[in-house]
C-alpha cells in the first residue's frame, strides 16, 4: 500500500520543516503550503489523504483563514470526508468547539511535540480507514415515521429519510453514526465525547447535550427525533425498533 499523503498548510516555515521531517520519518509523503491560496490548487489533482491546517493562516488572496479554509473543504463533495487536523495557539475550549463544529476531526494546541502530532495523525487515518469499511446504517419505517426509512451513509456523509436529505452538521452526523451503530445501547456522555470528539480534546460533557438537541431538531422534519432517547442518569441511545 502506498504511503499516505499529508498536506501541511502553515505559514511558519519552521513548523513546516519540523512536521515534514517527522512525518517523513514516520513513512508519510508530505507536501507543504503557506496559505489557502497556495493550498487550494493542490486539491484539484491528487487529493491528500489528510490535511493539517493552522487556524492563523495569513489572509492572502483569497482572503481565507485556516478556519475559513476548513469550512470551504467541508462544503465540497470531494473533500467533505477528508480527515483534517487543526492546529492553533488558541487553547480555549470555545475555540476548540468552533473548530470541531466547523469540521475539524482533531485539534492540537501549539506548541506541541512532533511525536504527539504523528500519533494523532496515525489515529485519524486509522479511523478514516475504519469508516470507509463500514456499511451504511439503514432502518425501515415500519413503526410509522412519516419521512420513510432512515439511512446514514458514512462514505458520502449523507443522512436521508425516504427521499428527503436531512441537514446535519458534521458533529451531529458523527453523533448519529455512533448511536445508530449500536442500536439500543446506552452511551454515557463521556463515551460520546470520546467517540465523537476524541479523547485528546478536552470538552465539557454538557456539550453533548447541546448537540443531541441539535440532532433531534435535524431529525424532527422526518419524525425520527423520537428515536434518540435520553436515559436519565446514564446517557443516550438510539432505538432501532419500536419500543
pLDDT for 34-47, tens place per residue?
Answer: 988 889 888 887 88
Structurally, the chain folds into a number of domains equal to 2
Q: Above 50 in pLDDT, residue 243?
A: no
The residue assigned the cell 511525536 is: 115
Q: What is the pLDDT of residue 26?
A: 93
Of residues 203 and 239, more confidence is placed in: 239
Residue numbers of the domain that contains 77: 5-133
Q: Above 70 in pLDDT, residue 199?
A: no
Q: What percent of the chain has pLDDT over 90?
A: 29
Q: What is the pLDDT of residue 22?
A: 93
| CATH label of the domain that carries residue 47 | 3.40.50.2300
The pLDDT confidence band at residue 144, using thresholds 50, 70 and 90, is very low
Q: What percent of the chain has pLDDT over 70?
A: 86
Q: State which of 133, 168, 190 marks the end of a domain.
A: 133
Q: What is the pLDDT of residue 187?
A: 93
Express each pLDDT in 89-100 by its tens digit: 998 888 888 888
Q: Above 50 in pLDDT, residue 79?
A: yes
60 shares a domain with 125: yes
91 shares a domain with 9: yes
146 shares a domain with 124: no
Amino acid at each position: 500500500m502506498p504511503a499516505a499523503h499529508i498536506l501541511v498548510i502553515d505559514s511558519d516555515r519552521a513548523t513546516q520543516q519540523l512536521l515534514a521531517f517527522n512525518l517523513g520519518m514516520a513513512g508519510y509523503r508530505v507536501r507543504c503550503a503557506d496559505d489557502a491560496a497556495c493550498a487550494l490548487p493542490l486539491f484539484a489533482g491528487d487529493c491528500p489523504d489528510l490535511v493539517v491546517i493552522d487556524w492563523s493562516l495569513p489572509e492572502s488572496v483569497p482572503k481565507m483563514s485556516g478556519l475559513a479554509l476548513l469550512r470551504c473543504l467541508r462544503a465540497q463533495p470531494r473533500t467533505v470526508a477528508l480527515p483534517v487536523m487543526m492546529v492553533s495557539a488558541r487553547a480555549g475550549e470555545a475555540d476548540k468547539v468552533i473548530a470541531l463544529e466547523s469540521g475539524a476531526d482533531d485539534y492540537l494546541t501549539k506548541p506541541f511535540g512532533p511525536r504527539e502530532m504523528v500519533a494523532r495523525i496515525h489515529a485519524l487515518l486509522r479511523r478514516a480507514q475504519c469508516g470507509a469499511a463500514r456499511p451504511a446504517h439503514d432502518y425501515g419505517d415500519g413503526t410509522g415515521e412519516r419521512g420513510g426509512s432512515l439511512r446514514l451513509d458514512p462514505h458520502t456523509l449523507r443522512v436521508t429519510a425516504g427521499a428527503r436529505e436531512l441537514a446535519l452538521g458534521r458533529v451531529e452526523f458523527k453523533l448519529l453514526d455512533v448511536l445508530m451503530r449500536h442500536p439500543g445501547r446506552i452511551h454515557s456522555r463521556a463515551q460520546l465525547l470520546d467517540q465523537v470528539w476524541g479523547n485528546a480534546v478536552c470538552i465539557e460533557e454538557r456539550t453533548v447535550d447541546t448537540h443531541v438537541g441539535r440532532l433531534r431538531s435535524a431529525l424532527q422534519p422526518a419524525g425520527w427525533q423520537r428515536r434518540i432517547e435520553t436515559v436519565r442518569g446514564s446517557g443516550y441511545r438510539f432505538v432501532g425498533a419500536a419500543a
